[in-house]
Every structure is written in structure tokens, then in C-alpha cells.
């Protein structure tokens, strides 16, 4: 997202976190811009029954949790390490100085936020009105094209677990498993050695 050298030039430090560690919690005040150097981070919430809902999953090069920085609001979700991870952190004031001094980084940030807003709009519509198979394909296509930057014709290995797909789409794991098998029969997904491809 933002060049690592540029982040460091404006005072970014590196934080190492272990799998399962919480970087920030829902309701915390946003004080830093975060960008992943290595590993994976998810942002999640839990409902009253304790069921997890994953807002999104972020990987190397992705930033996360930045919208509250711009609007002085608390975090709407938790940030949790899915794997051991290393994350750049830069204080809010330094991050804003970086953006004002670097229009290209500012535009890149705007495009990134727009892509995420678009994804949220699409998934909100999917979750409220679409069949499970349709939701799953939309989610996989988003990760294929927007996260992995592949073309529609490229073969994409789905790195999300069945549980993560369920948590991202509001489905039960059993429903995800049945839907993936059905999508394979329809020729819309490929399963090889228990791995899913699109």
C-alpha cells in the first residue's frame, strides 16, 4: 500500500505479534496507522451469542483500521493476528503529515478505502438477499481480483478456511461445505487435494 521506506521516513516502527494476539479492540481510540509487513490480520466482532463475524482479512502490504483515524471515532471491530505477524505502526499525526507531503500515497489510500467500501456494499447486499452459493462466489472473486490482483481467467487458490468463509458471509460452516461441493459439481469451483480453486 504505502512504500515501507516512506513509512519509516515518517517515523513508523515495527510491532511483532503472535498468532491470536489482539492488536486493538472494538471501542479503542484509533491512534496509529497500521500496515502489514508479514503475516495475516483479521478484523472481527462477536454477537451476543458469541458467534464471530469477520469483517475482513488483511495480508502483507495491506493496511487496516484506518477509517477511524480520519473521523476520530473508536474502532468498530477487533484486530487479531491469524498468524504470527509483523506490522508497521505510525502515529496518527505523523501519518497525516506523510499523506499531505505525498499526494500519490494520499490517492492510493483513497482508492483503497473506496475498494473496501465497495466490497462492504456488495457483501451487505449478498448477506441480506442472496443464496449461500452466490455469497461464497462473490467473496472468493473479491479476494481473487481485489486482494490477490488476479485476472478473472487466472486460476486462484482459495487460502480462506471453510470457517473463515462462513464468518465472512454469515453462513454456517456446514452450509459452506455443502455449497462448495455443489459449486464444484456445477463447474464453478475446482477441488484438488482438499484445496479449493476458482
Confidence at 151, pLDDT banded by 50, 70, 90: confident
In residues, how long is the chain? 198
Mean pLDDT value of segment 146-171: 87
Q: Which domains does the chain have, with CATH numbers?
A: 4-115 (2.60.120.10), 130-197 (1.10.10.10)
Mean pLDDT value of segment 131-144: 89
What pLDDT was estimated at residue 75?
A: 94
**How far is 152 from 15, CA to CA, in rounded Å?**
35
Q: What is the mean pLDDT of the chain?
A: 90
Confidence at 51, pLDDT banded by 50, 70, 90: confident
Long-range contacts of 130-135 (CB under 8 A, 24+ apart): 132/169, 132/171, 132/175, 132/176, 132/179, 133/179, 133/182, 133/183, 133/188, 135/169, 135/170, 135/171
What pLDDT was estimated at residue 112?
A: 85
What pLDDT was estimated at residue 74?
A: 94
Confidence at 129, pLDDT banded by 50, 70, 90: low
**How far is 52 from 170, CA to CA, in rounded Å?**
9
Confidence at 117, pLDDT banded by 50, 70, 90: confident
Count CA atoms within 13 Å of residue 71 on its CB side.
8
Confidence at 54, pLDDT banded by 50, 70, 90: confident
Confidence at 197, pLDDT banded by 50, 70, 90: very high
Amino acid at each position: 500500500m504505502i512504500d515501507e521506506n516512506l513509512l519509516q521516513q515518517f517515523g513508523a516502527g515495527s510491532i511483532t505479534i503472535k498468532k491470536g494476539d489482539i492488536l486493538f479492540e472494538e471501542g479503542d481510540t484509533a491512534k496509529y496507522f497500521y500496515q502489514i509487513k508479514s503475516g495475516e490480520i483479521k478484523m472481527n466482532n462477536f454477537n451476543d451469542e458469541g458467534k464471530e463475524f469477520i469483517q475482513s482479512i488483511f495480508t502483507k502490504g495491506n493496511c487496516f483500521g484506518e477509517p477511524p483515524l480520519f473521523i476520530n471515532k473508536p474502532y468498530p471491530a477487533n484486530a487479531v493476528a491469524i498468524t504470527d505477524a509483523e506490522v508497521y505502526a505510525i502515529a496518527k499525526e505523523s501519518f497525516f503529515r506523510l499523506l499531505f507531503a505525498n499526494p500519490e500515497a494520499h490517492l492510493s489510500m483513497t482508492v483503497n478505502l473506496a475498494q473496501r467500501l465497495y466490497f462492504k456494499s456488495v457483501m451487505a447486499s449478498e448477506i441480506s438477499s442472496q443464496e449461500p452459493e452466490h455469497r461464497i462466489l462473490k467473496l472468493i472473486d473479491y479476494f481473487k481480483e481485489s486482494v490477490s490482483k488476479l485476472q478473472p481467467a487466472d486460476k486462484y487458490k482459495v487460502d480462506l478456511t471453510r470457517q473463515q468463509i462462513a464468518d465472512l458471509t454469515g453462513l454456517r460452516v456446514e452450509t459452506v461445505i455443502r455449497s462448495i461441493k455443489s459449486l464444484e459439481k456445477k463447474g464453478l469451483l475446482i477441488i484438488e487435494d482438499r484445496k479449493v480453486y476458482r
